[in-house]
Amino acid sequence: MAAPAFVAKLNEQLGYEFGAHQQYLAIAAYYDSLTMPQLAGMFYSQALEERGHAMMMIRYLLDNDEVPRIPALEAPKVDFSDVVGPAEAALAQELVVTQQINELTRVAREENDFASDQFMQWFIREQVEETAKMKDLVAVVTRSKDDYERIEDWVSREDPRTEGSAPAPPMAGA
């Protein structure tokens, strides 16, 4: 059984994960509107990944006989001044999510909730990868902001859109 404090924080995190899903859809649509299919595709995939994270959390709650509480979401940012803005927003979001994941892990540990601590380890590894990916993207987009084709070439070369090597927790509905 998961610790009540961890359950409360995990339910809160559901909102952040679904919010990230929507924000990445908005970013994908922005890049799609600029006819940047590689970058748009990367963010459409990122959106699905964020949704998957929420579904993993829902499955964990259900497996622990808890009822998931999915909060209302704020609308994502959809207006950006240039091609760099969405990438910077994505990096900022990943940095915040890293703090949230670390906080969830801290709560699990303080509550001696070892199963929840173990559950969070996959997310910690995932955040290291996601943050590094977005830092690289911001560097490339900033450097090549006037050459969309160069950005697209980098994304097609560097974004294999494959799952990480560590097995992910199961998703609800999968």
Establish if 77 belongs to a structural domain: no
* 61 Cβ contact list (under 8 Å, min separation 6): 2, 7, 10, 11, 67, 68
Look at residue 107 and tell me if it is in a domain: yes
For the chain, what is the domain count? 1
User: Environment class of residue 174 by beta-carbon count within 10 Å: exposed (0-12), middle (13-18) or buried (19+)?
Assistant: exposed
Where residue 22 sits, what CATH number does that domain have? 1.20.1260.10
**Domain membership flag for residue 174:** no
- Is residue 168 situated within a structural domain? no
**Structural domain contains residue 93:** yes
Q: Which domain holds residue 130?
A: 4-70+82-158
Query: Which residue did the predictor score with more confidence, 165 or 18?
Result: 18
173 lies in a domain? no
Classify residue 166: in a domain, yes or no.
no
Q: Average pLDDT, stretch 45-67?
A: 97
List, for residues 74-104, the tens digit of each pLDDT value: 999 999 999 999 999 999 999 999 999 999 9
Question: Which tokens belong to 96?
Answer: 């915040």
pLDDT-above-70 percentage for the chain: 94
Is residue 34 left, alpha or beta, with left meaning phi > 0 and alpha meaning psi from -120 to 50? alpha
Q: What is the pTM of this model?
A: 0.90
Q: Residue 54 and residue 20: Cα distance in Å, rounded? A: 10
Burial label for 99, CB within 10 Å (0-12, 13-18, 19+), is exposed
At 47, list the tokens.
């959106």
The whole-chain average pLDDT of the chain stands at 94
Tell which wins on pLDDT, 107 or 1.
107
124 belongs to a structural domain? yes
